[in-house]
Structure 1
Amino acid sequence: MLRSLTLFAISLPLVALTAAAALPQKKPAPKKPAVTTSKKTTTTTSVGTAAFERDVLPLVQKYCVGCHTAPKGSGGINLSGEKNFAAALKGRVSWERVEAAVLEKRMPPSGVPQPSDAERKKLGQTLESLFSQADCQINDPGRVTMRRLNRAEYNNTLRDLLGVDLRLADAFPNDDVGYGFDNIGDVLSLSPLLMEKYLSAAAKASRAAIIAPEDKPSSVKVLAGQLKGPGNVTGEGYLLSSNGEASFEFDFPAPGDYTIVVRAGASPAGPDIDFPNKKRGPEPAKMGINVGGKPAVTVAVTTGPSNLQPYRAKIAIEQPGKQKVGAAFLNDFYDEKLPPERRDRNLTVESIEIQIPEDVQKRTIKRELPFSHRKLVIEMPDDSTDAEWDRAAKAVLAPIVHRAFRRPVTSDEVRRLVGLSRMAKSQKQSFEKGIQFALQGILVSPSFLFRPEPDAKPDDPSFRRQLNDHELATRLSYFLWSSLPDDELLALADQKKLQAPGVLLAQAKRMLKDPRSRALADNFAGQWLQLRKVGVMQPDTVRFPAFNEQLRQAMRTEPDLFFTGIVQEDRSILEFLDSDYSYLNETLAKHYGNTSVKGAEFQRVPVLPGQRGGILSMAAVLTLTSNPGRTSPVKRGKWVLENLLGTPPPPPPPNVPELEAQKGATQAETLRKRLEIHRTNPACANCHTQMDAIGLALENYDAIGKWRLDDGGKPIDVSGVLPDGSKFDGPKELKKVLLGKKSQFTKTMTERLLTYALGRGVERTDKCNLEAMAKTVAAKGYKFSAIVEAVITSQPFRERRGDESTSPRR
């Protein structure tokens, strides 16, 4: 206890600084850029007013003001009072909506006079040009709130720093999301609970990475996030919703009687049965505690999923070495005819613990130290003097803290860590135990938990600067790897060579080919394309009996491998819209009607022309954009508009009934006709015209992404027309239409990637940067490396400014 309190006291200044730097932030809101008035600004505003009055105002007066006028303009937009460009700048949000609606032919509504294509183009291009000029004048690199490592970044950083993959952050509270991502500085707050988790995780990580002679582990506990099997991790633990085993591999050090403790809970299901104690009730879940893939003990799990309890089994191990240890769900049950509380039997496993017998601890032969220990403890004291201890501790800790803090460290920082290590010496403990103490101090430091970019004038919005080499290296590594810089990148930062664009680009290309770039699929694509939701999808298995956990896992794997392949092979980003290949295993291939793929391993294979290719035809996307019991053209169309074209529709107006509740909709023969009835409501028509057309073109795919030609025996009509006149018939022609909008898709993906890379929302002043970036990507053949190059060489990525919001209140 004394040792823990002392460690906490020494770490407290670091923890306090962390907490002060990371008080809960407000949800992200657009920030006002630093604007300075100049003759140039005034001149450009005058020029803008002339163009606005010549090319925009007459068209607005002719086609728009009739509906959009004071006091209550249609859709909340009033255009009657803005007579010059300066006024339009103040009401810019409304004018940008006008620009988009006119260009996409969503406005004016049908039945009223329409502008010609030339008039639409003139209005849209003039507004876009004027706003872009105003933005580019500001020349604002923006400001990123100091970011805490999110859960994925914490796990990856520990793995790459220490050489142990513990996934301790899986037990942390979920990170908040802003602008579609969970790495946004404005929402990554630090709660007291999370601080406690950091302290606990630091202790666990240091003991796992460094083996002290006095540490005799009496047990090994593996949490849900480290288990493998056919299930998925939820808030309660590892959920097995069908028969299967959640397991991990354990290296038994010697023969002996080991106790295995599985902390689990379950939802009983089924009709009442008689039990030996004469009570009646549904059958509980049966759980097998397995070793080496063989059942050792079977127990009945009688506690609920929100009341997990330990279940124990003593097992004799005759042969030492690695064996699989697991908890198996043995009696899956589902019957939709029963009441909800008895319908579905599942098993939840929170953790599996192996308790090592005392006699095994005493007689276990000393084995080779793990890689992490050999990597970190590069020196040992030659004798027992304080000076020799300090020398060895400094040699060990200096490179660790340099990598952990991702910057040069001061001699005072190293000295304090050496002093922390000497706590062990004062208590007659080992040198390794002292390094553990110091490592805990490193892992709760704000320089580890946060990514600070301190400014000389943090409260001056006009002060701007280039990032230094170490800040640039950190931005790059967490962008591409969700982890800290490796030795090569850190060495270049130490040598101050990263500012050269050629060096930075070469490092980015190297890092994209590294397996760690898989983090882009997990953390960027998983959120951009909403693929993380696949783990919680619940299709109606009565209507779609082919859906099970095995298919769910295959669905989730396909887009991950597809995205990673584009990244690591530097392929065209347009393959997201259409491709002639994908990655399938036997389960998913069979679902797609392909019988040539065999085995559980995924392989790259050609797809059926016209049916598959690109992310739109992947079962994961098609299922997450469906309802449990049927497809949803509205959800699918909205998904395309939001994620691929960057034109999300506004929220639906209040008091509009759901499709099934619409008068006459339930009597309509087809989903297309039901949607037509829904669009008769003028409040719904404008947005649904575009969403429905896109979604209906994907009706050849059912609610779990399986190809079909009819729906309930009725032929499917997959034709459609967009407001801009684009026509298509089915998914193949829809993809051609989307490829015709490749510049819009490129700009959308660039904006999403820039948001993710910066850790802040893209602001209006970034617009001119985005335009230039998207054009660069197109000029370089739409290669993935081109979009990464555009991001990392952009002004927002390489610079930052002060912020007036940090000024003290007066």
Structure 2
Amino acid sequence: MLRRASLFAIGLPLAALTAAAALPQKKAAPKKPAAAPTAQKAATVSAGAFERDVLPLVQKYCVGCHTGPNGSGGINLSGEKNFAAVLKGRVSWDRVSAAVLEKRMPPSGSPAPTDPERKKLGNTLESLFSQADCQLNDPGRVTMRRLNRAEYNNTLRDLLGVDLHLADSFPNDDVGYGFDNIGDVLSLSPLLMEKYLGAAEKAARAAIVAPEDKLRAVKFTAAQLKGPGSVTGEGYLLSSNGEAGTEFDFPAPGEYTIVVRAGATAAGPDIDLPNKKRGPDPAKMAINVGGKPVRIVAVITGPSNPQDYRTTVAIEQPGKQKLGAAFLNDFYDEKLPPERRDRNLYVESVAVQIPDDVQKMMIKRELPFSHRKIVTDTPENATDAEWDRAAKAVLVPLAHRAFRRPVTDPEVQRLIGLSRLAKNQKQSFERGIQIALQGILVSPSFLFRPEPDAKPDDPTARRQLTDHELATRLSYFLWSSMPDDELLGLADQKKLQNPAVLLAQAKRLLKDPRSRALADNFAGQWLQLRKVGVVQPDTARFPAFTEPLRQAMRTEAELFFTGVVQEDRSILEFLDSDYTYLNETLAKHYGNPTVKGDEFRRVPLLSGQRGGVLSMASVLTLTSNPGRTSPVKRGKWVLENLLGTPPPPPPPNVPALDAPGKPIEAENLRKRLEIHRANPACANCHTQMDAIGLAMENYDAVGKWRTDDGGKPIDVSGTLPDGSKFDGPKDLKKVLLAKKGQFTKAMTERLLTYALGRGVERTDKCNLEVMAKSVEAKGYKFSSMVEAVITSQPFRERRGDESGKK
């Protein structure tokens, strides 16, 4: 009843949440910037450059294959005669520009432009597109986002002071553009709505203690008991005499009831039983307190039908004492029939029931921090006016923080009205605050991050974000959580429009431990580290791979990223570094015998085998197949995550390189890939992917260093289409560092996508160019990339959506 009342009394009928559920269910493609007239205006920047510098080269080198609707790769370049026409087919021309500059086109054996011609064609196209995009001056559209699972957990933690992880039971969040905080894919299903209702009730009761919530009993399950036995599906099994016990801290003197739930298997010759029947002797169990039996009982029901056995004990002094259930009469005789051969005791649980007077004392003495933080006033025998006054004092600051903005008077009155539901039922003030808190936690103002527009369907209606919207964007970007009191206070004072104030707050947030969320939620998805938890290498081939090693792999990468963030180090260290973080398990895997113990520490790298994310075992394992390395996956990972040039999906019906269960040795793998690249449909992408991936063949499928495979030396040499040569991972990292501008732009794009909660649109590219150059000018420091993001137009502004226009 409280759940439904919470929604309706605050003026939030289920329809309000149901309307939000209409968000798109699947990954959405980027929205195109609005309106042909704007594109026509942008086309005037060409001033004949396309016709003069691009069109002749296209006609000379490209239209032979890319003509008409059946042009190679689905690209037709024969129809566009001016730049205005090119803008309409922008996606195809973006691919043309990239392919020519990277020397992936024209294909080998075809007439090819000279290097100056390539530069002229590619750079002219990029310059024209950039000018056109910059003229649009479009901050982009951001769909109203709900909190994803990580954000919900973190926000509850910071709002209430209790870390409950209630969202762990929510349905998984959909992913778009590589991240799970994208507004276009964060749907709201009926199941999730029901989860929100249940979570709100649990959170309210965990954060605030009401007299009605007295702790009546403490229960220890079989998994929490200790002893000589073992945990089974039917309880803690004692197959020989001994005790299944635990320790309980009795809070005060009093009469406590101990309840043991147990079953047993009887054994031995027939005896007279209490039910006036004959049968094998039942198990005898002692209920022990303080190491002494206070009651001995016969357990006469089987383990599949356990029963409760109770005893009351007077505790004279508070403090910790042992309690448990002891098996007293073990029996085994292999000569008897199986059904009476073996006597065992199964203890399902041990519980302590707390006296009423002790419960009242505990509530007053042990109020949790969350309760004391939230409930600042507790009126007793209050009049309606006194109740309302106290409720307002508690609920206004709580709702202010939960909604990330000042609350309105109607909202305050609805919350007070919710709390009065408890008073009307003669319940406590604390219960009333619990009910009102449930209403707060199911409000769209809590569950969503609204940025309302006066003209939401008008793409020309652009505005700056408010201070509170900026505070919310900043905190969820860097913390995956709500603004803290300092940031919210600056928003209340309207000071965040000042770029210097906003930047100072960003630097403060980055140094806070809560910025670890960037490692979990940004790096975990950008570098795909979350997949480390689910990859399953073939342990028959790689017996060194264990669960502790799996966890150590992920921890290394997360600590490395967090160190770059909190110490404001260069982002180029993601490409190569002279240090990493190791414990003994991972150090042994890396061939380093000097690190001892489970604790991670920063370790200098001297051999040249490691450094940067590319040589971390986590990345190398997640980019491998279960039974062997995968140069294709590793090369694709580099192109996609470090260089920002993801290859297109493979053509249909391409056969696998190896059959399941028959891994290929490194020498044969290189030959197989050469055959694969001979297929013209595959060569274009695989020429780059294979070369990069083969350079990392010194690492096996779980990231361990090797110089041979099956006794044969490994060839790790390669050449990229642009002529860059390398011989092994160390040289490959030098090649990547030479492309640091490309890496910087790619990482900036990924960080901007994560910060905005939407995919990057073509009109963002002008901003991205400026942002990447700013990062370069400031020494590639991580904070300079964050500064570039939060001071950018897309982060500070928003516009309406053309989708609503008819």
Instruction: Give the TM-score range, shorter chain.
Output: 0.7 to 0.9
Contact 1:14 1:444 in 2 (8 A): no
The whole-number CA distance in structure 1 between the counterparts of 2:498 and 2:133 is 27
Larger deviation, residues 614-623 vs 665-674: 665-674
Please report how far the alpha carbon of residue 360 of structure 1 lies from its aligned counterpart in structure 2 after TM superposition.
5.4
In the superposition, relative to structure 1, how do residues 442 and 321 fare at CA in structure 2: closer, same or farther (>3 Å)?
Answer: farther
The whole-number CA distance in structure 2 between the counterparts of 1:251 and 1:11 is 42
In the superposition, relative to structure 1, how do residues 153 and 673 fare at CA in structure 2: closer, same or farther (>3 Å)?
Answer: same
**Which runs of no fewer than 5 residues in structure 2 stay unpaired?**
225-245, 268-303, 325-347
Counterpart secondary structure, 1:78: coil
Please report how far the alpha carbon of residue 368 of structure 1 lies from its aligned counterpart in structure 2 after TM superposition.
2.3
Contact 1:210 1:436 in 2 (8 A): yes
Please report how far the alpha carbon of residue 495 of structure 1 lies from its aligned counterpart in structure 2 after TM superposition.
0.2
Report whether the alignment pairs 1:692 with 2:690.
yes
Q: Deviations over 1:582-637 (max 9, x none)?
A: 11111001100111111111101112331001000100000000000000000000
Cross-structure match for 1:30 = 30
Contact 1:381 1:389 in 2 (8 A): yes
Counterpart secondary structure, 1:37: helix
Please report how far the alpha carbon of residue 25 of structure 1 lies from its aligned counterpart in structure 2 after TM superposition.
1.1
In the superposition, relative to structure 1, how do residues 796 and 669 fare at CA in structure 2: closer, same or farther (>3 Å)?
Answer: closer
In the superposition, relative to structure 1, how do residues 147 and 49 fare at CA in structure 2: closer, same or farther (>3 Å)?
Answer: same
Please report how far the alpha carbon of residue 219 of structure 1 lies from its aligned counterpart in structure 2 after TM superposition.
6.2
Contact 1:665 1:674 in 2 (8 A): no
The whole-number CA distance in structure 1 between the counterparts of 2:599 and 2:736 is 32
Cross-structure match for 2:405 = 407
The whole-number CA distance in structure 1 between the counterparts of 2:45 and 2:519 is 45
- So what's the TM-score if we normalise by structure 2? 0.83
Q: Deviations over 1:88-135 (max 9, x none)?
A: 111111111111111111111111112111111111100000011111
Q: Deviations over 1:39-94 (max 9, x none)?
A: xx757524516111111111111111111111411111111111111111111111
The whole-number CA distance in structure 2 between the counterparts of 1:462 and 1:702 is 54
Cross-structure match for 1:357 = 352
Please report how far the alpha carbon of residue 3 of structure 1 lies from its aligned counterpart in structure 2 after TM superposition.
4.4
Q: Deviations over 1:767-789 (max 9, x none)?
A: 10000000000000000000000
Aligned positions of 1:90-105 closer than 5 A: 90-105=88-103
Please report how far the alpha carbon of residue 379 of structure 1 lies from its aligned counterpart in structure 2 after TM superposition.
1.4
Q: Deviations over 1:345-393 (max 9, x none)?
A: xxxxxxxx98853245663542321110111011122652111111111
Counterpart code for 1:67: C
Larger Rg: 2
Aligned positions of 1:268-417 closer than 5 A: 356-359=351-354, 363-364=358-359, 365-366=361-362, 367-381=365-379, 383-417=381-415
Query: Residue 458 of structure 1 is aligned with which of 456, 459, 471?
Result: 456
Cross-structure match for 2:466 = 468
Q: Deviations over 1:111-163 (max 9, x none)?
A: 11121111111111000000111111111001111000000000000000000
The whole-number CA distance in structure 1 between the counterparts of 2:786 and 2:430 is 42
Quote the sequence identity (%). Answer: 76
The whole-number CA distance in structure 2 between the counterparts of 1:581 and 1:563 is 12
In the superposition, relative to structure 1, how do residues 314 and 522 fare at CA in structure 2: closer, same or farther (>3 Å)?
Answer: farther
Please report how far the alpha carbon of residue 9 of structure 1 lies from its aligned counterpart in structure 2 after TM superposition.
3.8
The whole-number CA distance in structure 1 between the counterparts of 2:694 and 2:219 is 50
Please report how far the alpha carbon of residue 312 of structure 1 lies from its aligned counterpart in structure 2 after TM superposition.
11
RMSD (CA atoms) = 2.9
Cross-structure match for 1:711 = 709
Please report how far the alpha carbon of residue 250 of structure 1 lies from its aligned counterpart in structure 2 after TM superposition.
10
- So what's the TM-score if we normalise by structure 1? 0.83
The whole-number CA distance in structure 1 between the counterparts of 2:618 and 2:740 is 23
In the superposition, relative to structure 1, how do residues 688 and 453 fare at CA in structure 2: closer, same or farther (>3 Å)?
Answer: same
The whole-number CA distance in structure 1 between the counterparts of 2:220 and 2:561 is 30
Please report how far the alpha carbon of residue 212 of structure 1 lies from its aligned counterpart in structure 2 after TM superposition.
0.7
Query: Residue 541 of structure 2 is aligned with which of 519, 540, 543?
Result: 543
Contact 1:35 1:138 in 2 (8 A): no
Cross-structure match for 1:169 = 167
Counterpart secondary structure, 1:582: strand
The whole-number CA distance in structure 1 between the counterparts of 2:261 and 2:526 is 39
Q: Deviations over 1:212-241 (max 9, x none)?
A: 112123567999xxx9xxxxxxxxxxxxxx
Cross-structure match for 2:558 = 560
Q: Deviations over 1:704-756 (max 9, x none)?
A: 00011101111001111000000011111100000000010000000000000
Contact 1:551 1:587 in 2 (8 A): yes
Contact 1:257 1:314 in 2 (8 A): no
Please report how far the alpha carbon of residue 258 of structure 1 lies from its aligned counterpart in structure 2 after TM superposition.
6.9
In the superposition, relative to structure 1, how do residues 396 and 261 fare at CA in structure 2: closer, same or farther (>3 Å)?
Answer: farther
Contact 2:560 2:580 in 1 (8 A): yes
The whole-number CA distance in structure 1 between the counterparts of 2:184 and 2:158 is 26
Q: Deviations over 1:534-570 (max 9, x none)?
A: 0001000000000011000101101100000000000
In the superposition, relative to structure 1, how do residues 250 and 725 fare at CA in structure 2: closer, same or farther (>3 Å)?
Answer: farther
Please report how far the alpha carbon of residue 655 of structure 1 lies from its aligned counterpart in structure 2 after TM superposition.
1.6
Cross-structure match for 1:205 = 203
Aligned positions of 1:670-749 closer than 5 A: 670-749=668-747
The whole-number CA distance in structure 1 between the counterparts of 2:803 and 2:689 is 39
The whole-number CA distance in structure 1 between the counterparts of 2:774 and 2:141 is 24
Cross-structure match for 2:779 = 781
Cross-structure match for 2:504 = 506
In the superposition, relative to structure 1, how do residues 801 and 585 fare at CA in structure 2: closer, same or farther (>3 Å)?
Answer: same
Cross-structure match for 1:336 = none
**Which runs of no fewer than 5 residues in structure 1 stay unpaired?**
228-248, 263-275, 277-308, 326-352
Aligned residues between the structures: 707
Counterpart code for 2:67: T
The whole-number CA distance in structure 2 between the counterparts of 1:251 and 1:53 is 85
Counterpart code for 2:497: Q
The whole-number CA distance in structure 2 between the counterparts of 1:310 and 1:606 is 60
Counterpart code for 2:358: R
Cross-structure match for 1:179 = 177
Query: Residue 497 of structure 1 is aligned with which of 495, 501, 505?
Result: 495
Cross-structure match for 2:628 = 630
